[in-house]
Structure 1
Amino acid sequence: MNVTLAVKQYVSKMIETSGSGMKVLLMDRETTSVVSVVYSQSEILQREVYLFERIESQNREPMKHLKALCFLRPTKENVELLVQELRKPKYSVYFIFFSNVISKSEIKALAEADEQEVVAEVQEFYGDFIAVNPHLFSLNLTGVCRGRSWEPSMLQRCTQGLTAVLLSLKKCPMIRYQLSSDLSKRLAESVKQIITKEYELFDFRKTEVPPLLLILDRSDDAITPLLNQWTYQAMVHELLGLNNNRIDLSRVPGVNKDLKEVVLSADNDEFYANNLYLNFGEIGTNIKNLMEDFQKKRPKGQQKLESISDMKAFVETYPQFKKMSGTVSKHVTVVGELSRLVSERVLMEVSEVEQELACQGDHGNASQMVRRMLQNPRVSELDAVRLVMLYALRYERHTNTILPALKGELERRGTSEHLKQMVSRVVDFGGKRVRGSDLITANDAVAITKQFFKGLKGVENVYTQHQPLLQDTLDQLIKGRLKDSQFPYLGPSSLRDRPQDIIVFVIGGATYEEALSVYNLNRTSPGVRIVLGGSHIHNTKSFLEEVMAATGQGSERSQGGSRHSNRR
């Protein structure tokens, strides 16, 4: 099960279906993201796709020498834009691919608009999600619920995204959901309804052990998205923000103009592929090795090109050298900025306290550590509030005066009203009243020897004690111990055998820490393949937007499109 490969194959099939000749790729906002995450522009140019346009763009020039590949979500808006396009076609021929199920009435409307008979093909290719990593997908949605209820358009969008993942992986699963979450049950029922309605699409070859879809709720583990991370991909997202594989580095002091926005893609960047799950210390060592390797390979002085063979050798090696130069510059800049932020915001000290709160049970020591960090002027406003949130979640059962005192420290720091409110909102979102599982007891008795960074040898276990609740849930599932009373099956059937293909979806968003757990479980569990998805991939800032939306006052939320459909 590989979601990246599934989407890449869809794009390849689109290009192959249109045959040879120059092409324009006509997309909407969301399908642009879907394609850009799995294909670089240079890769797609090699397939005779020379122009990229948006369906909603009003100022596109007619280019009758081009074939149009249309890859669109089947929303009412997109269908209407296509109808207008076909009445006055700008290209010679149209190959139309919808990323989800399209209704017969909408197909009829397109056929009626195609008076000039320019449409050569209409198909459904289910790339209706962002393939972040081979085992990780996102729908790029925040603010999916209000209180404990779905936003109706978001329920529809999550259903469509999730059924598209199932169709792209060719899985017709049994479904389990988190009983404590009405959101999980409603999404499970909604997905089941689509599978039943579109039963012909889900008629895949039966396997000995049926695949399993497990639907979870973010509110069951509000601690994981609040923790600082120490693996490369997760750190980049937490400290710099990773949006469809792109990082905005424009605010980095003294950054080269060519590096103001960079792309981190495991498909096209060997260093990133080899390091995205390694910790920060190891990355430091590997950056040093990359630099040394680069120094050895770079041309010495002015290379004399005295013969045809000299010129040929230079031409052959130069692109490789140039690519390596770009890779080195990019990662040195990114790691350098991460290092600067870690130092500036004393994140090692902050992270130690976070891990103490998440994993240890010494209340007196924890409260003293938090208070000490709040009094440190180098601790950022966000990090200070994050520590108080973790304390409030961790020691919610303690009736004491510590929390008001910590809130008082935030007041003295001049913390914004918005962030101060987030402390109680996080408890409303993920406190013991709404949690289905006992998040806070797993590591209470564990005593871990505290070690610190040692040169570039890596982040020692004091910074990586925490394991997300998802890891324990999946471990229990794989061992056949996940309780039906907490995670019931939808429908009368249940799985007797050990599950092999597992798709997990987290309503309210997943995290890169959870993706790391899934990656490790895939490596260490023979015969088991797990794919993780979420309505969003969170860092702390986006998670707090989710909390704000769920607990009342809305923050800006992404409207990923709300009306559409599925097929192949």
Structure 2
Amino acid sequence: MNVVLAVKQYISKMIEESGPGMKVLLMDKETTSIISMVYTQSEILQKEVYLFERIESTNRETMKHLKAICFLRPTKENVELLIQELRRPKYGLFFLYFSNVISKSDVKSLAEADEQEVVSEVQEFYGDFIAVSPHVFSLNLTGCAQSRNWNPAHLARSTQGLTAVLLSLKKCPMIRYQLSSDMAKRLAESVKQIITKEYELFDFRRTEVPPLLLILDRSDDAITPLLNQWTYQAMVHELLGINNNRIDLSRVPGISRDLKEVVLSAENDEFYANNMYLNFGEIGTNIRNLMEDFQKKKPKGQQKLESIADMKAFVENYPQFKKMSGTVSKHVTVVGELSRLVSEHHLMEVSEVEQELACQNDHSSALQNVRKLLQDPKVTDLDAVRLVMLYALQYERHSNSNLASLMEALTRKGVSDKYKRLVSVLVEYGGKRFRGSDLVTPKDAVAITKQFFKGLKGIENVYTQHQPLLQDTLDQLIKGKLKDSQYPYLGPSILRDRPQDIIVFIIGGATYEEAQTVYNLNRTNPGVRIVLGGTTIHNTKSFLEEVAASGIQSRVSERPHGVSRSSRR
């Protein structure tokens, strides 16, 4: 159950099957991202792939001495571009690999176009998703819903992506879905339809306990994507944004040219792999240790290369030193910028109140603390509006006048109308009327613990008691206590044993906090393997864009809350 390894094996097999000799890798926009998530360019260069091209590029040179490995999504556009390519081939041989099921009629059209008989291979390799980490995948899809119904194109893409994950992991699962979500039921039925239609592809060796696919809806837990984060990976995404493992640092004050964009990948960065789920204080300590280790290994300034042995030792050690130098400068820059933002925007104070809103039930204290922070000029508009949103979700049934006063405070702060409109839209999106679950359990309110961050000056006393709803859902599933009345099976069969292989998919996007939850559940439940997927991986900003694009209208009139009706973006 390792999605990174599954995609890696597909890419390796493609390159191996094309045999020795110089190769070009021909991709589309999406497969470029799929490959770049699991392989670095230098790793692929070592496999005799010397050129990387896009199928839609019109200015590619003719190079008959190269073999073309084509890895493409089987879309109408790509098939048409490939037909044009085969009619006037720019390369000597073509090895065609599609990331999902391709129709027989499209294969026939390609065969007819191959008049010069340059096609050596046509295969389906099901790497039709973004492998974020071994237990996390994404489809990089936003704006899936149209007033709680699927955008048809997004339903098709989600079905393709999810069935590709199942095929790549060799799983033919039983399916459960969130009953309170029509979208979850539609996707479950759509996936089941493909499994039935392509039954030969899903004819894997039966296991004693069948795998399970659980389809959930983001609207059941709108709180998790609204919270500031304090573990390394989640914090980077929240404050800086992660896009296919790339971090844009171009706005960092005084940033050097070579650090304007950096890559954070657990596959190729040992420090990141070891620290991505640790809290920010521990990262500070580990960064300091990394720097001290680097200083010890740094070549002495006056080092003399007096012999062949000296030169050989220097040349052998230099690549490792250079790589370590890059790792140190990258993480020091990233952590330094996170620390600056935490301090500048009073994120410790903001986060403490967020955690109180998410996990406690003390209305007067919460209201007072939110009002206080809304008056703080250092608190950003995004942080201000997320506090009001968390208040609105938690105290939805309290007096409208309290929320109205917070909306007025947002107006005084100068928060944009776009953000203010989203407060009531979010309550419609993820409020109590549409949730299948309660977001705050009595256990959370009693067992509140402060976790102290140690090792980095200025990062301490931050609440981290929030657990995503997914934690409880999966815990109940593993224990066999997840209610069929809320999460029914699709079809007559039900799982009577403790589940072992679980694929969870969240329509409307997962979060890195939930990725960490799954990571911890995999570690603490021997024999259980969970993979988490989502239409995308959200931070607060992207989540609010998703909500705004959903077309959900606020039922709240302008007067009580000072909020106008949302218009579809």
In the superposition, the TM-score normalised over structure 2's length comes to 0.96
Aligned length: 555
Q: Name the counterpart of 2:555.
A: none
Distance 1:554 1:85 in 2: 40
Distance 2:482 2:449 in 1: 31
Distance 1:69 1:368 in 2: 62
Q: Name the counterpart of 1:207.
A: 207
Distance 1:66 1:400 in 2: 69
Q: Name the counterpart of 1:419.
A: 419
Moved more, 400-409 or 102-111: 400-409
- The CA deviation string for residues 511-536 of structure 1, in whole angstroms up to 9 with x for no partner, is 00000000000000010000000000
1:173-192 matches, cutoff 5 A: 173-192=173-192
1:306-385 matches, cutoff 5 A: 306-385=306-385
- Does the C-alpha gap of structure 1 residues 451 and 153 become closer, same or farther in structure 2, counting only changes over 3 Å? closer
Task: Describe the SS at the equivalent of 1:64.
Answer: strand
Task: Describe the SS at the equivalent of 2:284.
Answer: helix
Task: Describe the SS at the equivalent of 1:262.
Answer: strand
Gap regions ≥5 residues in structure 1: 556-568
Distance 1:140 1:374 in 2: 33
1:500-515 matches, cutoff 5 A: 500-515=500-515
Q: Name the counterpart of 1:231.
A: 231
**One-letter amino acid matched to 1:264:** L
- Does the C-alpha gap of structure 1 residues 459 and 491 become closer, same or farther in structure 2, counting only changes over 3 Å? farther
Q: Name the counterpart of 1:545.
A: 545
Task: Describe the SS at the equivalent of 2:242.
Answer: coil
Give me the CA root mean square deviation.
1.3
Contact residue 279 and residue 458 of structure 1 kept, 8 A: no
Q: Name the counterpart of 2:150.
A: 150
Task: Describe the SS at the equivalent of 2:122.
Answer: strand
Quick one: percent identity of the two aligned structures?
81
Gap regions ≥5 residues in structure 2: 553-566
Moved more, 1-10 or 462-471: 462-471
Q: Name the counterpart of 1:564.
A: none
Distance 2:290 2:405 in 1: 48
Task: Describe the SS at the equivalent of 2:107.
Answer: helix
Distance 1:127 1:357 in 2: 40
1:14-93 matches, cutoff 5 A: 14-93=14-93
**One-letter amino acid matched to 1:293:** D
**One-letter amino acid matched to 2:489:** Y
Q: Name the counterpart of 1:124.
A: 124
- Does the C-alpha gap of structure 1 residues 458 and 31 become closer, same or farther in structure 2, counting only changes over 3 Å? farther
- Does the C-alpha gap of structure 1 residues 83 and 50 become closer, same or farther in structure 2, counting only changes over 3 Å? same
Distance 2:447 2:396 in 1: 22
Contact residue 509 and residue 536 of structure 1 kept, 8 A: yes
Distance 2:458 2:245 in 1: 25
- Does the C-alpha gap of structure 1 residues 549 and 460 become closer, same or farther in structure 2, counting only changes over 3 Å? same
Distance 1:379 1:124 in 2: 51
1:151-550 matches, cutoff 5 A: 151-443=151-443, 445-446=445-446, 448=448, 450=450, 453-456=453-456, 462-550=462-550
- Does the C-alpha gap of structure 1 residues 246 and 554 become closer, same or farther in structure 2, counting only changes over 3 Å? farther
Larger relative contact order (Cα-Cα within 8 Å, sequence gap ≥ 6): 1
Distance 2:266 2:463 in 1: 25
Q: CA deviation at 1:437?
A: 1.0
Distance 1:528 1:448 in 2: 28
Distance 1:151 1:259 in 2: 38
Task: Describe the SS at the equivalent of 1:96.
Answer: strand
**One-letter amino acid matched to 2:212:** L
Q: CA deviation at 1:31?
A: 0.3
Distance 2:461 2:487 in 1: 32
- The CA deviation string for residues 386-440 of structure 1, in whole angstroms up to 9 with x for no partner, is 0000000010021342100000000001110100111011111100111111123
**One-letter amino acid matched to 2:224:** T
Distance 2:355 2:293 in 1: 36
**One-letter amino acid matched to 2:265:** S
Distance 2:379 2:136 in 1: 32
Q: Name the counterpart of 1:562.
A: none
- Does the C-alpha gap of structure 1 residues 107 and 449 become closer, same or farther in structure 2, counting only changes over 3 Å? closer
**One-letter amino acid matched to 1:328:** V
Distance 1:458 1:448 in 2: 22
Contact residue 74 and residue 102 of structure 2 kept, 8 A: yes
Q: CA deviation at 1:550?
A: 1.3
- The CA deviation string for residues 323-350 of structure 1, in whole angstroms up to 9 with x for no partner, is 1001001000010001111111110000
Q: CA deviation at 1:441?
A: 3.2
**One-letter amino acid matched to 2:31:** T
- Does the C-alpha gap of structure 1 residues 450 and 498 become closer, same or farther in structure 2, counting only changes over 3 Å? closer
Distance 1:449 1:164 in 2: 41
Distance 1:523 1:456 in 2: 27
Distance 1:143 1:33 in 2: 19
Pair 1:138-2:141 in alignment: no
- The CA deviation string for residues 295-329 of structure 1, in whole angstroms up to 9 with x for no partner, is 00001113211111111111100111011001001
Contact residue 176 and residue 488 of structure 1 kept, 8 A: yes
Distance 1:454 1:20 in 2: 53
Distance 2:171 2:257 in 1: 45
Moved more, 545-554 or 202-211: 545-554
Distance 1:183 1:377 in 2: 41
**One-letter amino acid matched to 2:506:** V
**One-letter amino acid matched to 1:316:** E
Task: Describe the SS at the equivalent of 1:325.
Answer: helix
Distance 1:349 1:266 in 2: 31
